[in-house]
C-alpha cells in the first residue's frame, strides 16, 4: 500500500500549505475548511539535516537522522532521514512509513533515502 501525506491548497488563492492550517496564510480567507487535499510529492532536495543522539525514550535506536527537505513543488517538510552520508542539496526520495510508536498508537510520516 502506498501512503501519502497531504498538503492543503487554498480554494481561493491556490496557495499550498503543509502542515494543515485553519486559515490560508496568503489570502486569509475565513471559510471553514476551504482547502483541497493534494498529495505531497515524494522527491526533493535536502535542505538541512542532523543526526540526533539523545532521543525520547520511545525511540529504541541509538541515533536518528532528521532533515528538512524541499520537495519538487517547493513545499518543505521535516522528516526522518535514512542516508549514510547526507549532504546539503542532495536529491532524496521519501516513503510514508511508521516513524514513531507511542503506547498503542503508530504514527506514520515521511522517511527519506538518497535518490
Partner 1 sequence: MRDVYVGGIGITTFTRLEYPLSEIAAYPAMMALKDAGIRDVDHLYVANMGSARVNHQTALASAVVDSLSLTPAGAAVIENGPASGASALKAGFAAVASGLHDVVLVSGAERMREVNNLEATDFVATLTHPLAEYIYGVTLPSHAAMFTRLYMEKYGLTERHLAMVAVKNQNNAMLNEFAHLHQPITIEGILDSPEAMTNNPYVAEPLRFFDACPVSDGGAAVILVSDDVAKTIDRPLIRLAGVGQATDTHAVHEREEPTDLLAVRRAAAQSFEMAGLRPEDVDVAELHDAFTILEIVESEEVGFFPKGEGHVALEKGETAIDGSLPINPSGGLKGKGHPVGATGVAQAHEIVTQLRGEAGDRQVDGPQVGFTCNFGGFGNNVVCLTFVREGR
Note whether 12 and 37 are within 8 A (CB). no
Q: Does 6 bind partner 1 (CB under 8 A)?
A: no
C-alpha cell at 27: 489570502
74: left (phi over 0), alpha (psi -120 to 50) or beta: left
Q: Does 60 bind partner 1 (CB under 8 A)?
A: no
The residue within the footprint of partner 1, chosen from 7, 77, 92, 96 (CB under 8 A), is 77
Identify which range of 7-15, 30-38, 63-71 contacts partner 1 by CB under 8 A: 63-71
Please give the DSSP secondary-structure letter assigned to residue 57: T
- Identify the bridge partners of residue 93 per DSSP, sorted by sequence position: 43, 113
Q: Does 103 bind partner 1 (CB under 8 A)?
A: no
* End-to-end Cα separation, the chain, in angstroms: 21
User: Of residues 31-50, which lie at the interface with partner 1 (CB under 8 A)?
Assistant: 47-50
What residues make contact with partner 1 under the rule CB under 8 A?
A: 18-20, 47-59, 64, 66-68, 76-80, 88, 99-100, 107, 109
Amino acid at each position: 500500500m502506498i501512503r501519502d501525506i497531504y498538503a492543503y491548497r487554498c480554494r481561493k488563492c491556490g496557495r499550498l500549505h503543509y502542515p494543515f492550517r485553519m486559515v490560508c496564510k496568503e489570502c486569509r480567507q475565513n471559510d471553514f475548511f476551504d482547502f483541497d487535499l493534494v498529495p505531497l510529492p515524494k522527491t526533493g532536495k535536502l535542505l538541512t539535516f542532523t543526526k540526533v543522539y539523545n532521543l525520547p525514550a520511545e525511540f529504541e535506536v541509538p541515533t536518528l537522522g532528521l532533515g528538512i527537505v524541499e520537495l519538487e513543488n517547493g513545499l518543505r517538510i521535516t522528516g526522518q532521514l535514512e542516508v549514510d552520508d547526507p549532504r546539503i542539496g542532495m536529491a532524496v526520495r521519501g516513503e510514508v512509513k511508521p516513524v514513531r510508536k507511542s503506547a498503542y498508537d503508530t504514527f506514520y510520516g515521511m522517511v527519506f533515502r538518497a535518490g
